[in-house]
């Protein structure tokens, strides 16, 4: 009694591979198969590269936000103080900061004085956001204290100011130069408020990695900022840093309770949430578009297999005559298409990973060819185009390519399996 062979036996792989290796004159691999192979390779490559770049962009964007900004800022709504003056100053900032730092999950709470001023050197000027902060708290800001391109000595901060590299470049400032800060809300006199003008030595120049921060931010010693911006005995806000910035919303309730009535919160998600949401939508749209490209490339497998089945009609008839079942014939031609999908996917993964890992070099080369106009940090916020390969993204690309390749292979494989051996051999 004849025994049935197990599915995907060795001889089925051998026949499928033999058909793929055959010369075109023998009815082997068609031009359409080569086109589908190249198309799948390029589609998977583009998908992996795009996902890596988008993941890298988001990671770099978020890192530059969290590396130079508070995870959440605690401030007060406007109220009338004991002198009958409407203000938003936090008078008990030391006690409030101590209460916040004692909360589980909070790593740092720093009182901040925030203001704006015009910074000038010679005949050049710029508008700057000035933050008053203590030296100890400044050292805990990663993108400022840990800046690889920083100039100067941060330990001299109490005797001067720290400015962003963008401001320094615009004004032509070097270490040791004295810049003037001009604030419209200065000394109050009988004739009105006169601007306050003070000169400060630049002791530290930092590069936070974000164009808008480097071009606008200045750090000033906390007590000096209190005096300069008329905040004696108070702070404008408490900058709070937590262990997991992605879960900053979980701290809303406890921070509001700790701050008391009139407490206002502003997290990094509130500041950049719209952009990150738009980026997420764009990621999904790009995945769908590139998936369609992979599907189009995979559909070429169908065309190639239809041509292969037509050329191999005599072989199919002989194989059926000597005992191969419809299932075996189906699996043989399914393997022919699957080989194309697998080989194209492997090649696409390799090329995509190579491009993603060398994206900086590639972008630098393209930037040189285009005259430096490819990446404008004033528009995109960060200075470079990063890429971050993630196993999940590579897995999605591979899974999509293989599933589509296998699905489109079924139709021509079933057509081959249902071919009548008598009809296939009638005119041979």
247 domain-assigned: yes
Question: What string of DSSP letters covers 88-155?
Answer: --BTTHHHHHHHHHTSTTEEEEEEEEEEEEEEEETTEEEEEEEEEE-HHHHTT-HHHHT-TT-EE-GG
Query: 95 near 282, Cβ under 8 Å?
Result: no
Q: Residue 171 and residue 162: Cα distance in Å, rounded?
A: 14
Based on the fold, state whether residues 371 and 398 are members of the same structural domain: yes
Domain boundary among 230, 261, 292: 261
Based on the fold, state whether residues 91 and 214 are members of the same structural domain: yes
Query: 248 near 66, Cβ under 8 Å?
Result: no
Domain boundary among 231, 261, 291: 261
353 domain-assigned: yes
Q: How many CA atoms lie within 13 A of 289 on its CB side?
A: 9
Q: Residue 199 and residue 220: Cα distance in Å, rounded?
A: 12
- Identify the helix (H) or strand (E) that includes residue 398: helix 391-417
Based on the fold, state whether residues 133 and 280 are members of the same structural domain: no
106 domain-assigned: yes
Provide the pLDDT for residue 2.
43
What is the average pLDDT across 120-140?
A: 91
Provide the pLDDT for residue 35.
80
**Residue 200 above 90 pLDDT?**
yes
Based on the fold, state whether residues 113 and 241 are members of the same structural domain: yes
Q: Residue 398 and residue 345: Cα distance in Å, rounded?
A: 6
φ and ψ of 358, to 5 deg: -120, 25
**Residue 222 above 80 pLDDT?**
yes
High-pLDDT (> 90) share of the chain, %: 30
304 domain-assigned: yes
What is the average pLDDT across 254-259?
A: 91
Q: What is the DSSP letter of 235?
A: B
Provide the pLDDT for residue 420.
66
Q: Which of 61-70, 336-345, 353-362 has the lowest mean pLDDT?
A: 61-70
Based on the fold, state whether residues 47 and 96 are members of the same structural domain: no
Domain boundary among 229, 261, 293: 261
If one counts the domains in the chain, the total is 2
What is the average pLDDT across 319-327?
A: 73
Q: Which of 107-116, 193-202, 251-260 has the lowest mean pLDDT?
A: 193-202
Query: 270 near 74, Cβ under 8 Å?
Result: no
Q: What is the DSSP letter of 156?
A: G
Q: Are strands 161-164 and 192-206 parallel, antiparallel or unpaired?
A: parallel
What is the average pLDDT across 379-385?
A: 61
Based on the fold, state whether residues 406 and 326 are members of the same structural domain: yes
Based on the fold, state whether residues 346 and 202 are members of the same structural domain: no
- Identify the helix (H) or strand (E) that includes residue 199: strand 192-206
Q: Residue 30 and residue 21: Cα distance in Å, rounded?
A: 11
Q: Which is higher by pLDDT, 194 or 123?
A: 123
Based on the fold, state whether residues 294 and 327 are members of the same structural domain: yes
Q: How many CA atoms lie within 13 A of 279 on its CB side?
A: 18
pTM over 0.75: no
**Residue 9 above 80 pLDDT?**
no
What is the average pLDDT across 97-125?
A: 91
Based on the fold, state whether residues 299 and 191 are members of the same structural domain: no
Whose tokens are 């026949």? That residue is 15
Query: 1 near 307, Cβ under 8 Å?
Result: no
**Residue 258 above 50 pLDDT?**
yes
14 domain-assigned: yes
Q: Which is higher by pLDDT, 229 or 377?
A: 229
3-state secondary structure of 358: coil
3-state secondary structure of 220: strand
Based on the fold, state whether residues 102 and 190 are members of the same structural domain: yes
Provide the pLDDT for residue 156.
92
What is the average pLDDT across 321-350?
A: 83
Based on the fold, state whether residues 107 and 218 are members of the same structural domain: yes
22, two tokens:
């055959």
Provide the pLDDT for residue 254.
92
Looking at mean pLDDT, say which of 276-285, 345-354, 382-391 comes out highest.
345-354
What is the average pLDDT across 157-166?
A: 92
Taking all residues of the chain, what is their mean pLDDT, rounded to a whole number? 82
How many other C-beta atoms lie within 10 A of the C-beta of residue 102? 10
268 domain-assigned: no
C-alpha 95, offset from chain centre: 38
- Write out the residue range of the structural domain in which residue 349 sits: 10-63+275-425
Q: At what angle do helices 326-357 and 10-21 cross, to 10 degrees?
A: 60
Based on the fold, state whether residues 217 and 242 are members of the same structural domain: yes
Q: Are strands 192-206 and 178-189 parallel, antiparallel or unpaired?
A: antiparallel
- Identify the helix (H) or strand (E) that includes residue 331: helix 326-357
Task: Identify any residues that bridge with 362 across adjacent strands, giving them in sequence order.
Answer: none
150 domain-assigned: yes
What is the average pLDDT across 254-281?
A: 85
Q: Which is higher by pLDDT, 193 or 220?
A: 220
392 domain-assigned: yes
What is the average pLDDT across 381-394?
A: 78
């Amino acid at each position: 009694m004849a025994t049935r062979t197990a599915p995907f036996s060795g001889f089925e792989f051998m026949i499928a591979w033999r058909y793929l290796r055959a010369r075109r004159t023998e009815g082997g691999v068609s031009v359409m198969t080569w086109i589908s192979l190249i198309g799948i390779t390029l589609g998977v490559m583009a998908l992996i590269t795009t996902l890596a770049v988008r993941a890298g962009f988001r990671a770099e964007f978020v890192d530059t936000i969290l590396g130079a900004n508070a995870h959440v800022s605690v401030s007060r709504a406007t109220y009338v103080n004991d002198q009958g003056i409407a203000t938003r100053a936090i008078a008990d900032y030391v006690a409030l900061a101590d209460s916040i730092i004692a909360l589980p999950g909070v790593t740092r709470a720093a009182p901040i004085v925030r203001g704006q001023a015009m910074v000038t050197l010679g005949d050049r000027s710029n508008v700057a956001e000035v933050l008053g902060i203590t030296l100890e708290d400044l050292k805990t800001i990663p993108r400022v204290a840990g800046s690889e391109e920083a100039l100067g000595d941060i330990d001299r901060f109490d005797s001067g100011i720290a400015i962003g590299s963008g401001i320094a470049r615009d004004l032509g400032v070097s270490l040791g130069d004295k810049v003037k800060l001009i604030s419209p809300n200065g000394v109050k006199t009988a004739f009105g408020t006169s601007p306050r003008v003070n000169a400060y030595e630049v002791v530290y120049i930092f590069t936070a990695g974000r164009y808008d921060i480097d071009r606008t931010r200045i750090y000033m010693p906390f007590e000096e900022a209190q005096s300069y911006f008329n905040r004696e005995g108070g702070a404008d806000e408490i900058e709070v840093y937590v262990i997991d910035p992605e879960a900053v919303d979980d701290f809303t309730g406890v921070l509001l309770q700790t701050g008391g009535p009139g407490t206002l919160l502003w997290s990094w998600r509130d500041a950049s949430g719209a952009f990150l949401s738009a980026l997420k939508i764009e990621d999904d749209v790009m995945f769908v578009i590139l998936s369609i490209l992979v599907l189009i490339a995979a559909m070429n497998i169908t065309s190639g297999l239809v041509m292969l089945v037509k050329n191999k009609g005599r072989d199919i008839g002989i194989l059926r005559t000597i005992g191969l079942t419809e299932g075996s014939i189906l699996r043989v031609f399914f393997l022919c298409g699957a080989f194309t999908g697998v080989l194209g996917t492997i090649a696409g993964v390799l090329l995509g990973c190579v491009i993603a890992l060398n994206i900086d070099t590639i972008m630098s080369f393209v930037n040189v060819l285009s005259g430096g106009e490819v990446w404008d940090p004033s528009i995109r916020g960060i200075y470079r185009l990063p890429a971050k390969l993630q196993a999940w993204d590579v897995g999605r690309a591979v899974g999509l390519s293989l599933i589509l390749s296998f699905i489109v292979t079924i139709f021509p494989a079933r057509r081959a399996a249902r071919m009548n051996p008598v009809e296939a051999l009638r005119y041979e």
